[in-house]
Amino acid sequence: MSVPAIAVKNLVKTFGDSTVLNGIDLDIAQGQVSCVIGPSGSGKSTLLRCMAFLEESTKGTIAVNGEVLGFAENANGVRERLPAAANRRIRAQIGMVFQQFNLWPHMTALGNVSEALKTVHKTNRKDAEERAMAQLAKVGLEGRANHYPSQLSGGQQQRVAIARALALNPKIMLFDEPTSSLDPELTGEVLNVMRDLAAEGMTMVVVSHEIGFAATVGQQIIFLDHGKVLFTGSPQEVFKRPRNPRLEQFLDTYI
């Protein structure tokens, strides 16, 4: 048995008085696509943000490929923040794509994809741009390398955002509603890029209301409700068989 790509144990996240994640236990398997579904406000984004260490958890642990990220209990059972260098190194295994593409408007597609390689990874310009071009080609945008975000469609911008994340060579990709701000006719091109990535064996966690994608590409479906995992199972178990009443009620609004 290989170690899970991400192991979440008793994860709690509170904002002030409100408990947004309420004891999440979850394993994200290596090389699989795990789809997180659930009503608005159920904690999906917060869960992904905690996994990527963009948000600090309140309790519990998150381990990435067997290494605890962010906070751990010391020998006396006291929760401690782990060293920044270790957190940075572990966090670098994770790439994330957001609903809003967050591209730099003053940089071309090539600039957006190569920037972090140059500034964070200290890759020289030529190598960074070669690598960025290869990633743009992978998302079908080699012909748009010199276009600025304003000259690209929403679907193309999101594909640039995916290329940007992939350029940093992550082991795990997290997607938070990657097609939710796109016109319906543009969602397909983004989902196709994600399908290709899944077929290559990338470990992916996808929050999406695209139930068709979850049913055909997802290998594990995770249903979140009020900050708890109410159900995990295969697409078959979630979509075809008699199921949890809350899940059924949720699916009735989407299918």
Binding residues vs ligand ADP (CB under 6 A): 15, 20, 38, 40-46
Closest approach of Mg ion to the CB of residue 118, in Å: 31
**CA-based diameter of the chain, in Å?**
57
Closest approach of ligand ADP to the CB of residue 135, in Å: 27
Kindly tell me which of 128 and 211 has the beta carbon lying closer to Mg ion: 211
Token pair in block for residue 201? 């064996």
Question: Where do the H-state alpha helices sit in 98-179?
Answer: 109-119, 125-138, 154-167
Residues listed for the chain: 255
Kindly tell me which of 114 and 187 has the beta carbon lying closer to Mg ion: 187
Burial class for 72, CB neighbours closer than 10 Å (0-12, 13-18, 19+)? middle
46 binds Mg ion (CB under 5 A): no
Kindly tell me which of 132 and 213 has the beta carbon lying closer to ligand ADP: 213
Kindly tell me which of 172 and 174 has the beta carbon lying closer to Mg ion: 174
DSSP state, residue 29:
P
42 binds, among ligand ADP, Mg ion, none (CB under 5 to 8 A by kind): ligand ADP
Is 22 in a helix, a strand, or coil?
strand
114 binds, among Mg ion, ligand ADP, none (CB under 5 to 8 A by kind): none
Closest approach of ligand ADP to the CB of residue 52, in Å: 13
For tokens 């990874």, name the residue: 121
